[in-house]
């Protein structure tokens, strides 16, 4: 645990602020609002699209600073420029290869929101992620299995790389943040934050990346993490 209280919080959404059915944990939302009302910025970092996160930020009450598409895109505030870090062309080429690969088996892949994605490609988990990785061995892309979808992302891009950009643009360091997450795509973010906490529903490799693991799962784990780091918050 750091000696100084973090200046900001960065958190995953699915599996971290939700329950196992992807429904927002309303108590976790209340905790986000407590942080914001106390002057502590809260940044959402997700595999979701910018338009989805914009709606969530408005309804939950953050300032609109987000990391989207697993680090492929970030924005400061609702009116900020969308900075695209990922290579959508490379990801689309890899996906077309997958369509051919699985098409030979009679399997049709289901894309998620392609018209709203600018940095990565996301599709339904109807195929084995391990086979996806094997089929794309010749492509310079990362295959991310979030438990909710399979994502193709530029190899050098992650939530962690976008996190460094956001911290810099906010005039902060990543060490000034509490990071909370649960999935493989959160590992880099958890490692580089001042303190990284994984909620209890995480996998073993995520546990190894975190400084602490909560006793509670999902959104209740997020609440536990925040209370541990901000004991005066009520």
| Catalytic residue annotation | 12
Residue with tokens 């010749």: 138
Work out the number of other CB atoms within 10 angstroms of the CB of residue 13: 25
Work out the number of other CB atoms within 10 angstroms of the CB of residue 218: 24
Give Cα separations from 153 to 33, 85, 178 (angstroms).
31, 10, 25
- Strand order across the beta sheet in which 42-45 lies: 82-84, 73-75, 66-68, 42-45, 8-11, 177-181, 195-198, 212-213
Token representation of residue 163: 């996190």
């Amino acid at each position: 645990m750091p000696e100084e209280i973090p200046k900001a919080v960065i958190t995953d959404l699915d599996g971290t602020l939700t329950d196992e059915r992807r429904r927002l944990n309303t108590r976790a939302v209340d905790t986000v609002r407590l942080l914001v009302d106390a002057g502590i910025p809260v940044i959402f970092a997700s595999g979701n699209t910018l338009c989805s996160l914009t709606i969530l930020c408005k309804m939950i009450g953050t300032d609109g600073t987000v990391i989207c598409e697993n680090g492929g895109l970030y924005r400061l505030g609702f009116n900020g420029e969308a900075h695209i870090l990922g290579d959508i062309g490379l990801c689309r080429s890899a996906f077309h290869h997958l369509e051919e690969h699985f098409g030979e088996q009679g399997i049709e892949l289901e894309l998620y929101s392609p018209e709203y994605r600018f940095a990565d490609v996301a599709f339904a988990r109807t195929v084995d992620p391990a086979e996806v990785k094997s089929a794309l061995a010749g492509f310079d892309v990362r295959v991310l299995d979030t438990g909710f979808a399979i994502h193709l992302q530029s190899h050098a891009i992650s939530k962690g790389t976008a996190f460094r950009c956001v911290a810099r643009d906010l005039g902060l360091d990543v060490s000034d943040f509490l990071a909370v997450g649960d999935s493989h795509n959160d590992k880099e973010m958890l490692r580089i934050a001042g303190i990284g906490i994984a909620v209890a529903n995480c996998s073993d490799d995520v546990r190894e990346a975190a400084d602490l693991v909560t006793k509670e799962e999902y959104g209740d784990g997020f609440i536990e993490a925040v209370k541990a780091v901000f004991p005066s918050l009520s």
